Chain A
């Protein structure tokens, strides 16, 4: 097969990744900078018998997605800060009720209306803690247009496999920029599907190994007649306020993420095997950071780059290992320090963590990060 290189926008690659994963239902609401995902889904889904609906707001969008996911469909929505904030309650619902769901959050300068057309990375903590209560969540961060395809497809696979909502955390630049991209041959893409029960007989919707097990998920409309509730529930799905039931449920949900985190972690490293000074970053900030690291290396400084493709669950082993070598870890991000909080928590006592925050709505220039690396020698 001849190499097929296509000039593709980040949002387009997200949509292509979702379609490759078997997306059949999109519900969304227009918001800069993720509207292109909605537009492309509106155009592509009908061609394959998929359903698209523009709901009255982002709450309706994620709610409709959860409804469709319960019928067995693979679902997605795309939004940005303000919409992501509106989606939080239902995101918690999807996490408690273990509903496979993918949300693309194209971050923009916030808070509030902020700067809609400017990139930012200020939703990192919201992606993890935006909704109330302890809950598992997965967040992946594409660093270029090809990864928008890969990580959206990966988000579907992880969400289907573990029944945990998965967020694809891009930003205005990653979502809007175009790159020449070679997509994998569709025949090689083997999307995962949620494990379903074989028959309604004796089906218990939330029966699973307490040690992080994933229950079998029956689709609505196929004779299982099961009950899904946002109240804490026992294995039969009935609402329950019993202490032991609640404790067992929440710990199982958390273990689903903690135990399977190795399968969820993913990062790219360059020069970290012998670095004195490491840079930890993600998304579009990592592009500038990489050229800064490479420049420092050319000038004989032992600099290394660790780019996180998985933000949540936070890759503690990778950071801990990095801290065992590097005496300083530079964390450039387009916010006033969010990923850095996690890096400090994990590596703070072993390496000096240097936050580099850019909050003027512009990308980092490589020299801005280069200066910090040189300053940290």
Chain B
């Protein structure tokens, strides 16, 4: 058999690249994200199903995937090439829902294992005695993963058929429609095309100008895959005309050198079940057989597709890396919006605290009536309550600002980010907790300070005065004075100092905690800047090894 010139370093670089591609994530719903995700999957499919196995085992049989629009006669073509009914053909569309792989019995072991298309569960039809009678031969790699007879619902399956009529070293894969109404079929068809050494494109006299097959042809050209084009179901009377036009279209699209086979419309092609006469498919069969059996042609077919795929990485990897970096940039923008909102709010809270904004409303009423009509405990309660209200207000203002900013970001529509529980009550609870903790620590400070003094003043009253002095700004000047009278100027200064620091800490802690809570879903998506660099690095390593 033929060998491609493959060095182990290349394989290593390739598998490193594959891992990088597999780890690329696009969780944010940016405009390019679905496309990037599909590109990633497609690239992964091509690497896993085709490039890596092909480079590892260049002697494996040539896989020709028959693809085309619905009703183009793919199954009939495969059946005719094989010479018996292996894939169901019919008039109802879409006909082929399960892909069928046909190979020579000798080659069966290549495909029974998970060498290619590992995601598809292998099944085979029970009505082929040759398979049942011939269990795993020595050297066959099926043992660890014996194919099953049936497949569960939702499982994607690949049916493997063997036919001695096919030459060794050639396998045909009958793919579902590339433009099927069933979306799963479309995806599967694309994935199968990715695994092909030879792309056999089937179109018909009625379809050769359709947009969809041309997209496929263009794709094949882009990847520089080994391509064969089959014009099927051409009525006899217009055969030459249509064939010429199709050729002209191909040449215009820069695909002039693609081998082109024309198969006339025969009664058998429409009815389903019938096989086309051998003469009709003979040229195609001969071409495929030649590829499979002539080492040079085989090597050429394989290496062309492989090399085309490798060089297509040059453009596809940067695209992927670009999408990754777009994700990171979007995540950065979202984070920046959150940070910005909380920074602003923090500044605002500091301003309000300095201006004595806490000593307003109830707290102010209490303070005015203190000490005659209000106890120290009530004053303290009111002040702590007011502090909590200030913090809650700033947190929800930040939340609103973030919502506004994020509503302009498409990335914020992500379900993970949108599913924020309405936790106003939760935030209220958490902030209240923090405020009460601050009060408790303040009381401890006061008790500590008062312990040394003879004739200790009422700690609660001192705490209330201290809290008022700390939070009341200018309007609580008298509170500071009274405090100094009660506990001594030095002690008052020390208490105010410590209390002030504690207050700053408390505010920062609350705002930071709420900010982190807000960012938690985004952080959970784990969007890192490194993956872009890693993708490019893996590509450049691969380029060096090539």
Answer whether A and B are interacting partners: no
Report which B residues bind A (CB closer than 8 A): none
